[in-house]
Amino acid sequence: MALRGNLRDFSITQLLNLVNLARKTGTLFVEGPSETAQVSFRDGKLAYSQIGQEDSRLATILHKANKLTAGQFKIIQQRAGNFSDKELGLLLINAGYVTQADILDNLQQYFTEVVRRLFTWVEGVFHFDIETLPPAERINVRLDLENLIIEGSRALREWEQLQDEIPSLDMALKFADRPGANLRKVNLSVEEWRVVSYVNPRNTIHQIASATKMNDLEIRRIIYGLLQAGLVEIIRPAGATRPPPVHVFPTEDKDEQKSLVNRLINRIRSL
């Protein structure tokens, strides 16, 4: 039976656990709401991963990790564009630019970071293909999954807590009416500022997430922080068409409605 399904039913952490326990070899393909990712395993260990169209070639990874200067990176792109990562790796080691440990450490960091990003994906579909092996032209690593699984479990717990705190993304945000609360004095991250800039009773949290290109987990995480700091409050979106409550009162007449409530009050008092 093909290993395929929905992340709502089977999370990334559960998939990693399965791969680890069954010592699987193959590639996990995940289609999220806006990106795709592939993670390859050999004998239950992480071998390679890639997210979207992100450049995951060795030269780029080493350059981003400051192991190659801008000049070295440019020369490699010009002269070694057709080299495989394995060939390039040997070349760089022989030239004394980097060590074998540098290469393996940075690849491991990059591949695990890709998997960490997948922990924030709560929507999407996946399938595991045993026929697709880790790409041979790329340098593979052999990384135990246990630590990643524990990290994933923590992320899952966080997700459940955030869902409890912010159950609906159809609500809006407004700045808290706290005298003395001055946003300028608060140290916010770039992401938090991006969200803050959209805080308006007219914008639903969904719309803010869409405008800031954040997924459900990321937007909940930031809003949770802002809520805890007492900077914002969750409110019903302004101008949202409220579904009229169904037969709240058996009459449309306002005076009759008030009379009805007063009758209820008198009855409860007399109990």
Looking at the Cβ atoms of 118 and 122, the one nearer to other proteins is: 122
Give the x-and-dash track for 217-256 against other proteins (CB under 8 A).
----------x-----xx-x-----xx-xxxxxxx--x--
Residue carrying the six token digits 């524990």: 150
Q: How far is the CB of 12 from other proteins (least distance, A)?
A: 23
Measured CA to CA, the distance from residue 236 to residue 96 in angstroms comes to: 61
Beta strands in the chain (DSSP E): 3-6, 26-31, 36-42, 45-51, 125-129, 172-175, 232-235
- Span from 14-22, 24-32, 145-153, 166-174 in contact with other proteins (CB under 8 A): 166-174
Structure tokens at 201: 């009773």
| Segment 78 to 137, residues that bind other proteins, using CB under 8 A | none
* Count of positions on this chain that bind other proteins (CB under 8 A): 35
Please report the DSSP string for 137-172 in residue order: TSPP--B-SHHHHHHHHHHHHHHHHHHHHS--TTSE
Measured from the Cβ of residue 227, the count of other Cβ atoms closer than 10 Å reads 16
The answer to whether residues 98 and 67 touch, using CB atoms and an 8 Å cutoff, is yes
Using CB under 8 A as the binding rule, whether residue 258 contacts other proteins is answered as yes
Using CB under 8 A as the binding rule, whether residue 268 contacts other proteins is answered as yes
Structure tokens at 78: 């010009």
Looking at the Cβ atoms of 84 and 207, the one nearer to other proteins is: 207
Looking at the Cβ atoms of 137 and 253, the one nearer to other proteins is: 253
- Rule CB under 8 A: choose which of 139, 141, 171, 232 binds other proteins: 171
DSSP state of 185: G
The answer to whether residues 196 and 205 touch, using CB atoms and an 8 Å cutoff, is no
Looking at the Cβ atoms of 186 and 265, the one nearer to other proteins is: 265
Measured CA to CA, the distance from residue 54 to residue 66 in angstroms comes to: 18
Using CB under 8 A as the binding rule, whether residue 178 contacts other proteins is answered as no
Looking at the Cβ atoms of 71 and 245, the one nearer to other proteins is: 245
Which residues, 6 or more positions from 97, have their beta carbon under 8 angstroms from its beta carbon?
Answer: 67, 68, 72
- Span from 46-54, 99-107, 137-145, 158-166 in contact with other proteins (CB under 8 A): 158-166
Looking at the Cβ atoms of 131 and 164, the one nearer to other proteins is: 164
Using CB under 8 A as the binding rule, whether residue 260 contacts other proteins is answered as yes
Using CB under 8 A as the binding rule, whether residue 164 contacts other proteins is answered as yes
Name which of 11, 263, 36, 234 is nearest 122 in CA terms. 11
Q: Within the chain, how many helices (H) and strands (E) appear?
A: 10, 7
Using CB under 8 A as the binding rule, whether residue 262 contacts other proteins is answered as yes
Binding site for other proteins (CB under 8 A): 161, 163-168, 170-171, 227, 233-234, 236, 242-243, 245-251, 254, 257-258, 260-265, 267-269, 271
